[in-house]
Amino acid sequence: MTRVSNLGYPRLGEQREWKHLIESYWADKISKEELEKEARALRLSFLQKQADAGVDLIPVGDFSLYDHILDLSVQFGIIPKRFSDQDIDLDLYFALARGNKENVASSMKKWFNTNYHYIVPEWTKKRPQLTNSRLLDLYKEARQVVGDRAKPVITGPITFVALSSGVTDFTAAVKSLLPLYKQVFTELVEAGATYIQVDEPIFVTDEGADYLEAAKAVYGYFAKQVPEAKLIFQTYFEALIDAEELSDIPVAAFGLDFVHGLEENLQAIQAGLFKDKEVFAGVVDGRNVWASDFKETSKLLEVLAENTASLVVQPSCSLLHVPVTTKNETDLDPVLKNGLAFADEKLEEIKLLAEHLDGVANLRYDEHVAAYDALQAADFRNVELEDLSQVRTARKSTYDIRQKVQQERLQLPLLPTTTIGSFPQSPEVRRTRLAWKRGDITDKEYKDFIRSEIARWVTIQEDLDIDVLVHGEFERVDMVEFFGQKLAGFTTTKLGWVQSYGSRAVKPPIIYGDVKHIQPLTVDETVYTQSLTDRPVKGMLTGPITITNWSFERTDIKRSDLFNQIGLAIKDEIKLLEDAGIAIIQVDEAALREGLPLRKGKQKAYLDDAVSAFHIATSSVKDETQIHTHMCYSKFDEIIDAIRQLDADVISIETSRSHGDIIESFETTVYPLGIGLGVYDIHSPRVPTEEEVVANIERSLKQLSAKQFWVNPDCGLKTRREPETIAALEVLVSATKKVRHKLGYE
């Protein structure tokens, strides 16, 4: 019988129990012992659920109290020097992720091309050593629940080092880890582990080609030192970078992605490279919520089975990237709901597909096929849209002309200060929104409350002496979900939460049909805010690429067509804001870099499509209207040309957690437009010192002109508490004034 395996399960829980548990500990509402007890209960429930679904190989070690890469850093004693005087315990673990009063947090980056963020390991000269037996303990615990179906999961040494910072000698760093991995593997085998999943996704990237010899050496070492360990060389998000070379490394099995790396991985299979190998085939999309096309997937599995020694069916990647279950989504159109598959439904899919491959008839398989076909035939996927040929796709004038006109209108000081858009969503904001959704208060009562919060924060911003204000986004749960609730072609869920970083969860909307602007999205709140102040107020929108990348997108049309549909919708909203007298409009493209294909050969087409959609959204405005955008943590050197081509008047970028690495992208090239490099980290509760902010501003001014530089926090402030937010913004403004004074501007 064909077995089924899973790579990882969502940590959040159906009702975000995990998030609430972690945050209760941070708020000192529960003890460490209570945290560990409740975390164990959740962990075991996830294992049991997968066992009940018929999964033959159940991941162990995917559960984390923050991030699986951070878990590994702590296990190996890879602790930044600034934290070296602290005991390696739970407090240090969370301090590495969130910072503390004394030290800034470790850098945080996107996990390949996903919206999940990992904590970057920071290497020092101290040699790695095992500080705990975490994975072994979790495996022994799991065996008590699921027996020998438990499958330990660990990120492989090559990927781990490749994603680290502070590594001066890659080969030496990897070699220093090998005895530690050997010990981990040996103990797991002695405890009864059959397979051990070793995640090496670096080998689907172009960078992976540089590590082919390292892969041979590393896995040759494991084969010799721990020959009884059945290692699965697991990759995902793309095809193997060099299947011919990698197929020969001495491992028990290969995990390959046949969704996002279908074409190349299938070619490798059909070329006979894995004919004598065991292959764990990722045929169910672990990153999107659509039900699988069983007819096509079953054909694929037959081909794979014919060309491999043994086949195991699994998702394309960890199910960390999708919500838990569709069972709570009772308000969705039945045709749409039956065409969706969250984590639990994907586990059912892999089981049904494996049974079908074995010739086992199952009514649920046929029902699934019928539901899939019904969704494809639905009439909501075809709507008449605006003719793109009638849309302006370039600004009327060049930036130097626009800048003069805008400055004449706005009269901003040197180094203007602003924030990214959102302000803290207090418990009162969340309670009032929930009461409104439940019908406990009227629409008018809710609108009056939102307006009172806007007015309060306008006063706060003016008292802080911030130059360009925002309305605070108190009416928005999420910067993408909010738009998904108001645009045609989107739907939102009740409990479709996905982990983004730490306890931060997002609820991506689902793009199921053609997208169209059908009502004002932000005009009321923005115009009201502007009526309260003489200072300029930014209209706050999310851009077409970020809306796409942070949604569960439809896959039945080209991505470029989807980008353009959303671009047209945002264009219509910008026109309403501009007509209402709003002088500055921010169109966030926080996820532009995130969607960049992992292979360079595919990147230009994506960036061209992204730039084109941004132009569709923003190019129809007058010269005097200032367009801003914002981007999150990225390797900006890879997309700097595309950033320039966006032709936004001002771009703000998260940089503070990079400890200056990202700023280098803008210090080594000429950037001609307005720019704000985030001067403090909003993901940490720590309030920065004035000296730190001054230093961040002055470093940027070594390359950038003071006339083009804006001062802003790293990102939106929604997740922060009000006192720390106000304190941090006070520092930001005072530091800016200090730098202005040094520059002779009064």
From 68, 321, 368, 683, active-site residue: 683
Residue 275 labelled as part of a binding site: no
317 has binding-site annotation = no
Give residue-wise pLDDT tens across range 721-732: 999 999 999 999
Map out the domains of the chain as residue ranges: 3-379, 400-742
Q: What percent of the chain is helix, strand and coil (3-state, nearest 5)?
A: 45, 15, 40
Q: How far is the CA of 197 from the CAs of 348, 351, 436, in angstroms?
A: 21, 20, 46
Is the model's pLDDT at 166 over the cut of 60?
Answer: yes
CA distance to 412, 535, 582, per residue, from 404 (Å): 11, 18, 18
Overall fold of domain 3-379? TIM Barrel (3.20.20)
Indicate the angle between helix axes 523-531 and 443-464, nearest 10 degrees: 50
Three-state SS at 512 = strand
Summarised one tens digit per residue, pLDDT across range 361-411 is 999 999 999 999 999 999 887 767 777 888 999 999 999 999 999 999 999
Residue 294 confidence (pLDDT): 98
pTM, entire model: 0.90
Q: Which of 175-184, 443-452, 709-718 has the lowest mean pLDDT?
A: 709-718
Q: What is the pLDDT of residues 46-61, one digit of tens each?
A: 999 999 999 999 999 9
At 101, the pLDDT band (50, 70, 90 cuts) reads confident
Same CATH topology for 3-379 and 400-742: the answer is yes
Confidence of residue 84 (pLDDT cuts 50, 70, 90): confident
Distance in angstroms (rounded) separating the CA atoms of residues 151 and 197: 7
pLDDT at 336 > cutoff 90:
yes
In CATH terms, 400-742 corresponds, of 3.20.20.210, 3.40.50.300, 3.30.499.10, 3.40.190.170, to 3.20.20.210
Q: What is the mean pLDDT of the chain?
A: 94
Which carries the bigger pLDDT value, residue 243 or residue 635? 243
Q: Is 594 annotated as a binding residue?
A: yes
pLDDT at 659: 45
Distance CA 725, CA 739 (A): 21
Structure tokens at 461: 């911003």
| For the chain, percent of residues with pLDDT exceeding 70 | 97
Q: Is the pLDDT of residue 75 over 80?
A: yes
pLDDT tens readout for residues 685-721 = 889 999 999 998 998 898 888 999 999 998 888 888 9
pLDDT score recorded for residue 479: 82
Q: pLDDT of 492-502, one tens digit each? A: 999 999 999 99
- DSSP states of 330-350: TTS-HHHHTTB--HHHHHHHH
In terms of Cβ atoms closer than 10 Å to its own Cβ (0-12, 13-18, 19+), residue 603 is middle
In the structure, what pLDDT confidence band is assigned to residue 564 with cuts at 50, 70 and 90? very high
Please provide residue 87's backbone torsions phi and psi, each rounded to the nearest 5 degrees: -65, 145
Q: Known binder of ligand: residue 401?
A: no
Q: Is 473 annotated as a binding residue?
A: yes
Nearest CA among 137, 167, 115 for reference residue 287: 115
Given this model, what pLDDT does residue 383 score?
A: 67
683 is catalytic: yes
Is 216 assigned to a binding site?
no
What the block records as the tokens of 354 is 């494996």
Give CA 258 to chain center in angstroms.
22
